[in-house]
Amino acid sequence: MTLPAESTSKRADESVQGVSELAGKYLTFSLANEEYGVGILKVREIIGVMEITAVPHTPPHIKGVINLRGRVIPVMDLRLKFGMPAKGYDERTCVIVVEVQGRSSAVQVGMVVDSVSEVVNIAGSEIEPPPSMGASTESDNILGMAKVKGEVKILLDVDRVVGEGLLRQFEEM
């Protein structure tokens, strides 16, 4: 009877192994009543929403470009990206500026979220692999699910979210 027990614990070890490298500090934010997290090392800064210049011939979730202290950076609306209903921007709306690897160099991209919550330290043991939900590409955007203080936070793979939502878009064009 020891065998199954061993294999179970082994599998548990593996899953811990698989996600423990995700342990670290995350910036959490809310989006349509759900809490999300992005790795703090990806985040460059958080700014209030400002006037966005629309860019033609782009998908709806690309809101346009903003002037980030002299740099022009694209901004995407995460609600629209994830197919959630749009919501008017208010004083709690924030733009999280993240840095991802572009085709040739690192690019900064703004992500519009409902509101920014806090920075939390998430241990490896609190993270579970993403639930498999069929072949949905949306679950590819998720690194894992973290349970912190009884709340579930969805940890986003920023490179993928931004990459799919922005960069790849233009590679195809």
Partner 1 sequence: MPQDEHAVAKILDDMAVKILMVEPGDLSVVGELLAAAEDLLATRDEVANLPVLHAMAHAFKSALERMIMGELPDSAENYELLGKAITQIQEAVRKGADMDEAGVEAFARHLSDAGYLVSAAELLGDPGQVGPKEEEQAAAAAPSGDDASASPPPEEEAEPATAPAAPEPAATGSGGVPDFLQDKELLGGFIDEAFEHLESIEVNVLELEQNPGDLDIINNIFRPFHTIKGVSGFLNLRTINKLAHATENLLDDVRNGKREMDSDVIDLVLTVGDTLRSMVENIKDVLENGPDRYQDLDISAQVAHILALQEGKSPADSAPEAAVIDEGAAAPEDQAAPETTAPGMEPADSFTALPRAGQPSNSEGPAPAAANGQAAPRKKMGAFIKVDVEKLDALVNAVGELVIMQSLVRQNPLVSKIADPKLIKDFSQLSRITSDLQHTAMSMRMVPIKQTFDKMIRLVRDLSKKSGKEVNLVMEGADTEIDRNMVDSIYDPLVHMMRNSVDHGIQPPDERVKHGKSPTGTVSLRAYQKGGNMVIEIEDDGEGLNTIKIKKKAESRGLIQSGDNLSDHELNNLIFMPGFSTADQITDVSGRGVGMDVVKKAVEKLRGKVEVQSQSGKGSLFTIRLPLTLAIIDGIIVRVGSERYIIPTTAIQESMKPERKNYNTVHGRGESLLVRGELLPVIRLYQLFGVEDPTHNDPCEAIVVVVENEGRRRALMVDELLGKEEVVIKNLGGMSDVRGVAGGTILGDGRVGLILDLAGVIASAAEES
The region of 12-20, 23-31, 106-114, 119-127 touching partner 1 under the rule CB under 8 A is 106-114
* Among 23, 46, 73, 154, contact with partner 1 (rule: CB under 8 A): 73
Distance, in Å, from the CA atom of 105 to the CA atom of 103, rounded to the nearest integer, reads 6
Q: Which is nearer to partner 1, 22 or 66 (CB)?
A: 66
* Among 17, 20, 67, 121, contact with partner 1 (rule: CB under 8 A): 67
- Does position 1 interact with partner 1 (CB under 8 A)? The reply is no
Q: What is the 3-state secondary structure (H, E, C) of the chain?
A: CHHHHHHHHHHHHHHHHHHHCCCEEEEEEEECCEEEEEEHHHEEEEEECCCCECCCCCCCCEEEEEEECCEEEEEEEHHHHCCCCCCCCCCCCEEEEEEEECCCCEEEEEEEECEEEEEEEECHHHEECCCCCCCCHHHHHEEEEEEECCEEEEEECHHHHHHHHHHHHHHHC
- Does position 38 interact with partner 1 (CB under 8 A)? The reply is no
The region of 18-26, 67-75, 78-86, 138-146 touching partner 1 under the rule CB under 8 A is 67-75
- Does position 72 interact with partner 1 (CB under 8 A)? The reply is yes
The region of 26-34, 116-124, 147-155, 161-169 touching partner 1 under the rule CB under 8 A is 161-169
Site residues for partner 1 per CB under 8 A: 51, 53-58, 62, 64-67, 69-74, 100, 102-103, 107-109, 162, 166-167, 170, 173
